[in-house]
């Protein structure tokens, strides 16, 4: 099997020639990413190229507009502010109802970025958001097509948005929680507006040839334990029911990346139509027992995971081998399983221990993966 055939067989819950191994975040298809990695990444990059199933992700310019309208480009100003070890990207959107502002902090030392001030801070800001005329974003699938041409034997996933995450990004996690108690009606109003815009964009992507797998996020910031399972069912899952239906009608699959403790909503996830769930975090970061998930939803959802990134960074190599062995014993039977870490490598350098653990995961996965 080619890597593409192997991964697609697993995602369709079939049994390929061996369990696919996806080292999430080791972006070997991204020449700039590879060129700017510390030397400590080189053995892992080599191992992934040689032994793993590289799944390139293509970002689609136009989908990152926070108001999901082309009209905001003409009324947006971005100011760069030097803040020592950080550079602040301050976005000002001059809407017909007044200005919106966001502060995005980017590290000069290779650390993860963060948003310190979101666009929507008050109920009046919702009026400002909705006052900007809706003009469908211009979507550029050039990068997606380029990756498909360069990696013909690999599955290239095309990123797509979903409305619950669009709303969350406008407010941030803390403000969303306050508004769920105090301004829930405004959250639903925003969700409905952006659901319509997102589905129109997905239609455009599918008509332009995106597929056979689209990839999105599961609004982990609204998932348990950040919010209750009931909140997740009420606000997030209805969005996916419509999105999955549209993707499935085009003969495609939806891959969903969602951290947090999802055990209470596994059946709900399967019922609305998620096709692949990553990362299936085990305790203590999550609450997913892989054997339990396989029993409950393995006939409806491809399971991708569930090696915790913290284990790769800090556990003895012997434990990593044990965890991979256990995951293979539970996830492999019958197919529908992809071995994968829970997250990307996220530090500028990798310790000797972390490097050994990544290589041990690859080696063990290859050794035990055959059917």
Domains of the chain: 3-64+137-368 (3.20.20.210)
Angstrom distance (rounded) from CA 299 to CA 78: 48
Angstrom distance (rounded) from CA 31 to CA 28: 7
**What is the predicted pLDDT for the residue at 276?**
98
**What is the predicted pLDDT for the residue at 252?**
98
For residue 346, the surrounding DSSP H or E stretch is none
Question: 42-51 vs 352-368: helix axis angle to the nearest 10?
Answer: 10
Under DSSP, is residue 50 helix (H, G, I), strand (E, B) or coil? helix
Q: What backbone torsions phi and psi does residue 59 show, to the nearest 5 degrees?
A: -85, 140
**What is the predicted pLDDT for the residue at 69?**
95
Q: Considering the entire predicted model, what is its pTM? A: 0.95
For residue 104, the surrounding DSSP H or E stretch is strand 98-107
The half-sphere exposure of 113 on its side-chain side, counting CA atoms within 13 A, is 10
**What is the predicted pLDDT for the residue at 112?**
82
Averaged pLDDT, groups of 10, the chain, 371 residues long: 98 98 97 96 98 96 91 95 95 97 92 92 98 96 97 97 96 97 98 98 96 97 97 98 98 98 98 98 94 98 97 98 98 97 94 98 98 95
Q: Which of 302, 223, 235 is nearest to 262 (CA)?
A: 223
**Which of the 8 DSSP states describes residue 213?**
E
**What is the predicted pLDDT for the residue at 64?**
87
**What is the predicted pLDDT for the residue at 110?**
79
Cβ atoms within 10 A of the Cβ of 242, count? Answer: 18
Distance between start and end Cα atoms, the chain: 12
**What is the predicted pLDDT for the residue at 55?**
98
255 and 275 Cβ atoms separated by less than 8 Å: yes
**What is the predicted pLDDT for the residue at 38?**
96
Backbone conformation region of residue 53, classed left if phi is above 0, alpha if psi is from -120 to 50, else beta: beta
Backbone conformation region of residue 280, classed left if phi is above 0, alpha if psi is from -120 to 50, else beta: left
**What is the predicted pLDDT for the residue at 351?**
97
Q: CA-CA distances (angstroms) from residue 78 to 70, 74, 82, 357?
A: 16, 12, 13, 41
């Amino acid at each position: 099997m080619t890597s593409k055939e192997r991964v697609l067989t697993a995602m369709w819950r079939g049994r390929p020639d061996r369990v696919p191994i996806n080292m999430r975040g080791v972006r070997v298809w991204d020449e700039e990413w590879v060129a700017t990695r510390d030397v400590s990444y080189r053995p892992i990059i080599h191992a992934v190229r040689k032994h793993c199933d590289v799944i390139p992700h293509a970002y689609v310019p136009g989908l990152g507009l926070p108001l999901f309208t082309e009209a905001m480009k003409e009324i947006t100003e971005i100011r760069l502010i030097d803040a020592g070890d950080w550079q602040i990207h301050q976005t000002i959107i001059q809407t017909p109802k007044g200005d919106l502002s966001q502060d995005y902090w980017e590290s000069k030392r290779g650390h993860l970025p963060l948003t310190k001030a979101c666009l929507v801070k008050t109920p009046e800001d919702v009026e400002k958001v909705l006052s900007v005329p809706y003009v469908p974003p211009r979507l550029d699938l050039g990068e997606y097509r380029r990756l498909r041409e360069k990696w013909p034997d690999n599955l290239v996933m095309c990123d797509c948005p979903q409305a619950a995450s669009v709303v969350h990004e406008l407010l941030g996690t803390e403000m969303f929680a306050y508004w769920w108690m105090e301004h829930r009606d405004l959250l639903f109003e925003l969700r409905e507006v952006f659901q319509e815009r997102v589905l129109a964009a997905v239609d455009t992507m599918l008509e332009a040839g995106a597929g056979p797998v689209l990839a999105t996020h599961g609004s982990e910031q609204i998932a348990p334990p950040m919010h209750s399972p009931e909140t997740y069912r009420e606000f997030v899952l209805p969005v996916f029911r419509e999105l999955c239906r549209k993707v499935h009608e085009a003969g495609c699959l939806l891959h969903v990346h969602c951290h947090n403790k999802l055990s209470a909503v596994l059946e709900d996830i399967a019922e609305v139509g998620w096709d692949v769930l990553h990362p299936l975090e085990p305790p203590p970061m999550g609450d997913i027992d892989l054997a339990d998930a396989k029993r409950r939803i393995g006939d409806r959802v491809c399971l991708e995971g569930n090696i915790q990134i913290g284990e790769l960074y800090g556990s003895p190599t012997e434990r990593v081998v044990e965890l991979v062995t256990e995951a293979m014993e539970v996830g492999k039977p019958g197919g529908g399983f992809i071995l994968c870490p829970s997250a990307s490598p996220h530090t500028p350098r990798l310790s000797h221990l972390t490097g050994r653990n990544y290589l041990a995961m690859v080696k063990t996965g290859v050794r035990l993966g055959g059917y």
